[in-house]
Structure 1
Amino acid sequence: MKEYSQDISTLIDNELHDDMVIKHILDDTESQKQFSRYQLIGDVMRDESEGLDLRIDITNSVMAAIVNETQDNKIVPVATPEKVESNVVPFMKRFGQYAIAASVAGVVVVSSLMINQNVATDPSVTPVLNTVPFGGAAAPVSLQAKPVQTKSDIKERNEHLEALLKDHQLQLQVQP
């Protein structure tokens, strides 16, 4: 019997002009089912399958294939590997783990010190995490009292600022 799959595909593309093949497709129910499946595939690919019930029940054919399948007696169970007993004492094993962790931490610290030592610091750039206050000394957090400034301290500071301003103005006048 001649295979008509290619002819059915050609017929769907409207390129088949052989009347004998068309007559065979119209007479053969298997060819009609195949033609129907090809049309359905084309509709789904062109997204023209609205309203079509595309649920296909293949459970009976799968169950029949399973029943007809023969058992292979050459199946060998996978052997589980034997547990290798360690000669290392648990205490020494843990000590080794700590030694490795300490070595890694030491390498990290030393390398960070080496990297920071080689970096040239620019005095014009202030560090991001400058934790020292402007006053020069860190005060405890619990200290809530404000520093006591007497009137004489304030007067002395103002006089110093005025002297600096006068000196600056004189320097501006002297410069050409």
Structure 2
Amino acid sequence: MQIERKEQLSLLMDGEITDDNFIDEVLRDKNLQSCWHRYHIVRDAMRGKLHNSLLTVDIANQVAKALANEDTYHQLAEQPNPNEVLVPQKHNLFWIRVKEVMAKVSQVGLAACVTLGIIAGVQYYQGQTEDSNGVPPTLNTTPIGVNLAPVGGISQQDDQQILEKRQYDKIKLLLQDYELQKRLNAH
């Protein structure tokens, strides 16, 4: 029924109803009067004719009432009682502090152990990968599976053997250069 009254109030405002009985009812009912006032404010706002003097809607009282009715504090089921809270004894405070310090020292000790293990592993790995000459693998240019001939002490050989030796040395140098280029470009 309240919705019908507000519809009739809107029709009255638009000039579509001129019922004197409804006008008398609006004059007697405070709720319909405030609704009439709000409808006029909304209409003026929609038409762009709203003035500051027309804004007399007092929402502060409505907000205050809503806040007064709202339950803002919820009591927890397991909230500690201040009378039952245990305060640490004086002689226990020292051990609590020692426990905190030992926890921090153990964390630092664990970090130091992990760091030591990493450093030792890297050094061990580097020691394993170095050649028997102490040369790291990136600088080792000797091809895999090639035996080096000692320098000097070459006995007299015929021309065919010397030619084969030079070709062999040339191939060996090309392979060494290839291995070196491959390792340098790999990094």
Shorter-chain TM range is: 0.3 to 0.5
Between Structure 1 and Structure 2, whose CA radius of gyration is higher? Answer: 2
Greater RCO, CA 8 A, separation 6+: 2
Relative to the length of structure 1, the TM-score reads 0.36
Relative to the length of structure 2, the TM-score reads 0.34
